[in-house]
A and B are shown apart, each in its own frame.
Chain A
Amino acid sequence: MVNRTKIKVNSLNLFYGDFQALIDINMDIIENKVTALIGPSGCGKSTFLRTLNRMNDLIVNARIEGKVLLDELDIYSEKCDLIQLRKSVGMVFQKPNPFPKTVYENVAYGPRIHGIKEKSKLDEIVEKSLRGAALWDEVKDRLNRPALGLSGGQQQRLCIARCLAVEPDVLLMDEPTSALDPISTLKIEDLLEELKKNYTIVIVTHNMQQAGRVSDYTSFFLNGEIIETDLTDNIFSKPRDKRTEDYITGRFG
Chain B
Amino acid sequence: MKKYEKTIEIVLLISATVATLSVFLITFFIFKEGLPLLLDYGITNFVFGKDWAPTNGKYGAFPMIAGSVSVTVGALVIGVPAGIACAIFLAEIAPKSVVKFLKPAVELLAGIPSVVYGFFGLSVFVPMIRNYILPMVQKWNPNAYTSGYSILGGSMILAIMILPTIINISENSIRAVPIEYKQGSLALGASRFETIAKVILPAAKSGVVASVVLGMGRAVGETMAVILITGNMPKVPGNVLDSVATLTGTIAMEMGYATPTHQKALFAMGIVLFVFIMLLNMMATCTKRKLGGE
Contact = CB atoms under 8 A, between A and B. Distances in A.
Task: Tell whether any CB of A sits under 8 Å from a CB of B in the complex.
Answer: yes
Given A99-B203, A100-B203, A109 B185 contact: yes
Given A55-B183, A93-B183, 9 more contacts: A83-B190, A86-B186, A86-B187, A86-B189, A87-B188, A97-B178, A98-B184, A100-B203, A166-B189
B294 interface: yes
A97 B183 contact: yes
Nearest to B187: A91
Interface of B: 178, 180-181, 183-191, 194, 198-199, 202-203, 294
B188 A99 contact: no
A64 to B, nearest CB: 17
A159 interface: yes
Contact of A114 (B186, B189, B199, B294): B189
Contacts of A159: 184
A7 to B, nearest CB: 16
Interface in A70-104: 83-87, 90-91, 93, 95, 97-101
Interface string A210-233: 000000000000000000000000
Contacts of B189: 83-87, 110, 113-114, 166
Interface size grouping (class) on chain A: 20 to 34
9 contacts: A58-B183, A58-B186, A83-B190, A83-B191, A99-B199, A100-B203, A109-B188, A113-B198, A162-B188
B203 to A, nearest CB: 5
Contacts of B178: 97
A46 interface: no
B202 A93 contact: no
A66 interface: no
Contacts of A113: 188-191, 194, 198
A53 B184 CA distance: 12
Given A100-B202, A113-B194, A90 B188 contact: yes
Nearest to A172: B187
Contacts of B186: 55, 58, 86
A99 B202 CA distance: 10
A148 interface: yes
A158 to B, nearest CB: 11
